[in-house]
Structure 1
Amino acid sequence: MNQIGKNHKTLLLILSWAIWAVYTPALADEFEVFDKLDDQVEMGADDSPVEEEIEHPSWFKLSFLDMRDDLQEAKDADKKGIALYFGQKNCAYCKALMEINFKTPDIVRFTRKNFDIIPIDIWGGKLVTDLNGETLSERKLAIREKMNFTPSFLVFDTEGNEVLRLRGYYPPYTFRAALRYVAEGRYKEESLRAYMDRADPPGKFDLEDMNEQPFFLKPPYALGRTKIPAERPLIVFFEQKSCHACDILHTGPIGDKDTVEMLQQFDTVQLDARSDDPVITPQGKRTTANDWARELNIFYTPALIFFDENGNEILRLDSVTRLYRLKGVMKYVLTKAYEQYPTYVEYRYGRRDAF
């Protein structure tokens, strides 16, 4: 690129940031702070279970696990609701949550002010009473709520309405914005995707191309498979231009030889979640990549959506994803383990119990 081109690109970046900052000044200030923290989210290819046990912060609520009481106490304390934290003791992603997000003073202050965090061990046997009065073990609760990946959060407002699900680990800025979405009551007016559209500065994703791979199918994107079943399962990669997390996915997990060999057993499609590229969805609906991403409430990229040969969604990876987790999910899909274990968390329980 010549100097004029570089100057033009820089000018576009400055203008897009300036316009965005005028309309969302608070979010712009937050992004400057949290963008530096997001750079710490570099777990590389090693997201395998860690040796040391992960402990949650002492300020997490010491609960008797009756959610009705927990909700009333949060309400009495003038908080915005309660959040069930689903974790496990040797989870690399949980470690990132504790050592990055919950070591950030602003996130800690904001979370403690607005929510009571109630820890749930997805392998645990303690009894939990939900808001409807049903009592079940931590493990069965995780299965019922399809908490396939840790850390995950299930957030309820003070009226007991479920208002947010976060599946997996999110970098500090995205995590803080999602909590703010609830605390400010934005969930009453708009989807999380719509809120994050305003929270993300345009300059982040408008200036560079996406990462191409030889195994991605080329357009037209006719993904319908309800009338005539496909021969292979499908992965839809929702990404964005100038997406740092997308770059890491391609240079890390997708750069692994064994991963590529597994990916070649799927039909794989890469879509720009912000584009108007025409798409026929696996269910046969004509739409655009942007509208489909909105319908699926995709608010974080990269997001990988897995479909079976008949166009049914199996599960999704829509949070930070590294090698160990990606390979595990692909194996779950390729072996059709979902026919025996409807959720990935049940599959993991089954494999663990087998040993």
Structure 2
Amino acid sequence: MNHRLHRWSWMQTLVLVFFSSVLMAAQTPQDIEINDEPGVRDIEYPEWFSETFLDLREDLEEAKAAGKTGIIIYFGQKDCAYCEALIKVNFGREKDIVDYTRKNFYVIAINIWGSREVTDMDGETLTETEYSEKEKTHLTPTLLFYTEPDARPFVLRGYYPPYKFRAALEYVVDGYFKKETLRDYMARADPPGKFDVADMVEESFFESPPYALDRSHFPAEQPLVVFFEQHDCHACDILHSDPIRDPVVQRMLGNFDAVQLDMWSDTPVVLPDGNKSTAKEWAEKLGIFYAPTLVFFDEGGKEVMRVASVVKLYRLRGILEYVLKKGYLTSPTYQRWREEQQNSTPAE
């Protein structure tokens, strides 16, 4: 009898361990393998994407008449590793995301290099490329959410893992955008970090406090990059353990004034425009909702662009080069500058 009880207690323990591990796995952000090295990629839009005449006001009216929350405008391009992840993971294997998106939105695809005519929410007729540049599509994929012609709850620029993407969809569908910022909503939706180390990862190129970033009176000698991070941040740990370890990235970051801030802290900061604030207040003012977010400023303190999504080696290298070479002075978007750089490189 004692042997049976002992054997049963072990069986109960094994069952509890198994279900606990399943639950923990479900609550932990999945690592999405993205290799963003340039190459040919097979990306096909899902059959449930909407085929329209690209009159976006009419598309939104039709979506609302069909009982949808609104429309999502997807900006993408061929051979984009991050677009591939969105299409094959979030809009592919994640059935609950697919079902939820289809139930609540029409999704309309825009090719950032396309020539089809688009009539945007302002009534302006543009090519797909012109429309992409008007919307400052620095990164692909970019998703614009519309619930009304003059109501765009937010924009997602870049790739977000499924658990973040689900939260973004629910933020719009459940109407939370009407009563709180995406930043506050995402903070509640963000599960705990996977790594045991709670502290933020420090780098040798990060400047030490006090953080006097004022560039309003005299231009700085170098551009500025601010790393907005947080404790218990799995995505932050991945950034520091992967692309930032690259020797080329390390050398490029040496040409920036680099600062790391806890986006929820009361750390005092003198902003690039000379005003005094805290890291938390500044992050809120900038609308930072994703950690890590990298915000780039020129020598005069003007924001150039930001990366607020998953970023791997080749995209990070390209953005650092774009800022250091001041590509923003000659090209309307990072994507346009990158394309021009590739076309100007002599064939081997």
TM-score between both structures, scaled by the size of structure 1: 0.86
Aligned twin of 2:313: 323
Q: Is the 8 A contact 2:41 2:81 kept in 1?
A: no
The 2-side partners of 1:204 and 1:264 are apart by 29
- 1:103-126 per-position Cα deviation (integer Å, ceiling 9, x unaligned): 201101111111100000111111
Paired residue for 1:57?
Answer: 46
SS at match of 2:153: strand
After TM superposition, list the pairs within 5 Å mapping 1:40-189 onto structure 2: 40-43=31-34, 46-102=35-91, 103-189=93-179
Structure 2 unaligned segments of length 5 or more: list them.
Answer: 1-22
**2:301 corresponds to which of 304, 311, 316:** 311
Q: Which amino acid aligns with 2:118?
A: V
- Distance, in Å, in 2 between the alignment partners of 1:138 and 1:117 is 15
Contact 1:34–1:173 (8 Å) recurs in 2: no
Q: How many residue pairs were aligned?
A: 322
Q: C-alpha separation between the residues in 2 aligned to 1:291 and 1:132?
A: 32
- Counterpart CA distance in 2 for 1:203 and 1:54 is 31
What's the secondary structure of 1:86's corresponding residue? strand
**Residue 101 of structure 2 contacts residue 169 of structure 2 at CA under 8 Å; is this kept in 1?**
yes
Structure-2 change in CA distance of 1:119 and 1:33 (3 Å): farther
Q: What secondary structure does 1:254 align onto?
A: helix
Q: Distance in 2 between matches of 1:350 and 1:141?
A: 18
Residue type matched to 2:100 in 1?
F
Aligned equivalent of 1:287, options 261, 277, 287: 277
Q: Is residue 2:275 matched to residue 1:271?
A: no
Shift of 1:203: 6.7
CA 1:341 to 1:203, structure 2 compared with 1: closer, same or farther past 3 Å?
closer
Helix, strand or coil at the partner of 1:133: coil
Deviation of residue 185 (structure 1)?
A: 1.1
Give the deviation of 1:207 after TM superposition.
Answer: 6.6
The separation in 1 between residues aligned to 2:119 and 2:275, in whole angstroms, is: 40
CA distance in 1, matches of 2:55, 2:273: 40
Residue 34 (structure 1) shift: 5.6
Percent of aligned positions that are identical: 53
* Greater alpha carbon shift after TM alignment, 127-136 vs 81-90: 127-136
User: Which has the higher Rg, Structure 1 or Structure 2?
Assistant: 2
> Cα distance, 1:40 vs. partner?
3.2
Segment of structure 1 superposing worse, 304-313 or 202-211: 202-211
Query: Tell me, what secondary structure is at the counterpart of 1:140?
Result: helix
Q: Counterparts in 2 of 1:189-208, with a 5 A limit?
A: 189-201=179-191, 208=198
Q: Give the Cα separation in 2 of the matches to 1:42 and 1:275.
A: 31
User: Any runs of at least 4 consecutive aligned residues in structure 1 with deviations exceeding 2 A, and if so which?
Assistant: 31-36, 200-207, 348-355
What are the residue-to-residue correspondences of 1:176-255 with 2, within 5 Å? Answer: 176-201=166-191, 208-255=198-245
- SS of residue in 2 equivalent to 1:162: coil
Give the CA deviation at 1:32: 6.3
The answer on whether the counterparts of 2:192 and 2:232 sit within 8 Å (CA) in structure 1 is: no
* Distance in structure 2 (CA, Å) of the matches to 1:52 and 1:209: 37
Q: Displacement, 1:300?
A: 0.7
AA at the equivalent of 2:146:
F
Task: Measure how far apart 1:194 and its partner are.
Answer: 1.4
Alignment counterpart, residue 39 of structure 1, candidates 9, 30, 36: 30
Q: Secondary structure, in 3 states, of the residue corresponding to 1:329?
A: helix
> How many angstroms does 1:338 deviate by?
1.3
User: Could you state the TM-score of these two structures normalised by the residue count of structure 2?
Assistant: 0.88
Q: Quick one: structure 1 residues 68 and 352, their matched pair in 2 at CA, closer, same or farther if it must change by over 3 Å?
A: farther
CA distance in 2, matches of 1:35, 1:96: 20
* 1:136, distance to aligned residue in structure 2 (A): 0.6
2:27 and 2:191 in contact (8 A); partners too: no
Q: CA deviation at 1:150?
A: 0.7
Alignment deviations for residues 73-111 of structure 1 (CA, whole Å, 9 cap, x no partner): 101111110110001110101111122111201101111
